[in-house]
Amino acid sequence: MAKKIVIVLLVLGALAAGLAWMLKHEKNGVINGSADESLLQVVTTTTMVTDMVSQIGHGRVSVKGMMGPQVDPHSYQVTFSDTAALQKADLVFYSGFHLEGKMQDVLEKRNRKKGGVYALTDGIPKEKQLKPQAQFEGYHDPHAWGDPALWAHCVAVVVTALSEADPDGAETYQKRGNKYTAELEALHQWAKGRIAEIPEDQRVLVTSHDAFFYFGKAFGFEVRGLQGVSTNSESSLKDRADLVQFIKDRKLKMIFPESSVNKKGIEAVAEEAGVRVSGHELFSDAMGEPGDTVTLHGETYDKGTYIGMIKHNVNTIVDGLK
**Tens digits of per-residue pLDDT, 184-223?**
999 999 999 999 999 999 999 999 878 899 999 999 999 9
**Tens digits of per-residue pLDDT, 87-109?**
999 999 999 999 998 898 999 99
Give per-residue burial for 15-37: e unless 16+ CB within 10 Å, then b: eeeeeeeeeeeeebbbebbeeee
- Residues of the chain under the 70 pLDDT cut: 1-35, 132-138, 228-236
**C-beta of residue 184 within 8 angstroms of C-beta of residue 150:** no
**Secondary structure element (H or E) that encloses residue 195, with its range:** helix 170-195
Tell me how crowded residue 218 is: count the other CB atoms within 10 A of its CB: 19
Tell me if domain 27-187 and domain 197-321 are identical in fold: yes
Q: Give the pLDDT of residue 228.
A: 53
Query: If you ran DSSP here, which 8-state letter would residue 234 be given?
Result: P
Q: Give the pLDDT of residue 241.
A: 87
| Burial class for 138, CB neighbours closer than 10 Å (0-12, 13-18, 19+) | exposed
27-187 has CATH 3.40.630.40 classification:
no
Q: Give the pLDDT of residue 108.
A: 92
Tell me how crowded residue 3 is: count the other CB atoms within 10 A of its CB: 7
CA angle 98, 104, 107 (to 5 degrees): 130
Give per-residue burial for 104-120: e unless 16+ CB within 10 Å, then b: eebbeebeeeeebbbbb
Largest separation between any pair of C-alpha atoms in the chain: 77
Rg value, the chain, Cα? 21
Q: Which of 104, 94, 90, 81 is nearest to 45 (CA)?
A: 94
Q: Which of 211, 267, 221 is nearest to 46 (CA)?
A: 211
**Positive or negative torsion for Cα 268, 274, 280, 283:** negative
**Secondary structure element (H or E) that encloses residue 192, with its range:** helix 170-195
Fold of 197-321: Rossmann fold (3.40.50)
Phi, psi of 88, deg, nearest 5: -85, -25
Q: Are strands 204-209 and 40-44 parallel, antiparallel or unpaired?
A: unpaired
Considering the entire predicted model, what is its pTM? Answer: 0.85
Q: Give the pLDDT of residue 134.
A: 52
Query: Residue ranges per domain, the chain?
Result: 27-187, 197-321
**C-beta of residue 176 within 8 angstroms of C-beta of residue 162:** no
Q: Which of 86, 90, 69, 89 is nearest to 78 (CA)?
A: 86
**Secondary structure element (H or E) that encloses residue 255, with its range:** strand 254-255
Q: How many residues does the chain have?
A: 322
3-state secondary structure of 284: coil
Dist CA 254 CA 273 (whole Å)? 11
Tell me how crowded residue 10 is: count the other CB atoms within 10 A of its CB: 10
